Amino acid sequence: MTYLEKQSNPLDPVHFRGNLQADYLYTSGAAGDKFFKHIMENDSFLASECEECGTVFCPPRLYCEDCFVEIPDEKWKEVPAKGTVRLFTTAMLNTFGEPLEVPKIIGLIDIEGTDSSMLGILKTKDQKQDLTGITVEAVFRPTQEREGTLKDILYFNESG
């Protein structure tokens, strides 16, 4: 049997309003701690390299998920905050389905000198259909305004 009666007014049944309190203090982790402290004072990134397979992680990781070994301090290195766009999309609506005044371009950027990609907001010189393969460089907040979070990277700007 199909239930055909439609509940058109959600306030009709006896009800009360509630919410789930959810407030968090996330630690950025042993590896994240070093990474975010670094970008507070530098316009570059840190990366960590697995001693076994040579994979270079950026943002850096404490361990290699494949070889399952810890990455020692001496295998950390500084890399430029730039790279090449691998994937992208242009968002026209916000999370609530409302049109964005300025469409937002989001991409995955292969970070130079690493085997990793970072998610970032992209800014281009002109409107293009295909951003794949363009080179971009991170634009950071002014040093004194940085807080040690991913938002210290304002966006990745098309370079060259």
- Spatial CA neighbour of 80 closest among 118, 108, 132, 50: 118
What CA–CA distance (Å, rounded) separates 147 from 128?
Answer: 33
140 binds another protein (CB under 8 A): no
Least CB distance from residue 112 to another protein, whole Å? 24
Count residues near another protein (CB under 8 A): 24
Amino acid at 142: P
| CB-nearer residue toward another protein: 48 or 136 | 48
Exactly one of 53, 62, 100, 119 binds another protein (CB under 8 A); that residue is 62
Q: Is 73 in the site for another protein (CB under 8 A)?
A: no
Nearer to another protein, 65 or 101 (CB): 65
CB of 56 to another protein, least distance (A): 16
**Smallest gap from residue 75 Cβ to another protein (A):** 16
Q: Which residues contact 120 (CB under 8 A, 6 or more apart)?
A: 106, 107, 108, 109, 136, 138, 153, 155, 156
Which residues, 21 to 50, sit near another protein by CB under 8 A? Answer: 21-33
Least Cβ distance, residue 151 to another protein (angstroms):
18
Contact assessment for residue 38 and residue 46, using Cβ atoms and an 8 Å cutoff: yes
Would you give the DSSP letter of residue 13?
S
**Beta carbons of 132 and 19 less than 8 angstroms apart:** no
Secondary structure (DSSP) of 112-156: TTSS-EEEEEEE-SS--S--TT-EEEEEEPPGGG--SSGGGEEEE
18 contributes a contact to another protein by CB under 8 A:
yes
Q: Which residues bind another protein (CB under 8 A)?
A: 16, 18, 20-33, 62-63, 65-70
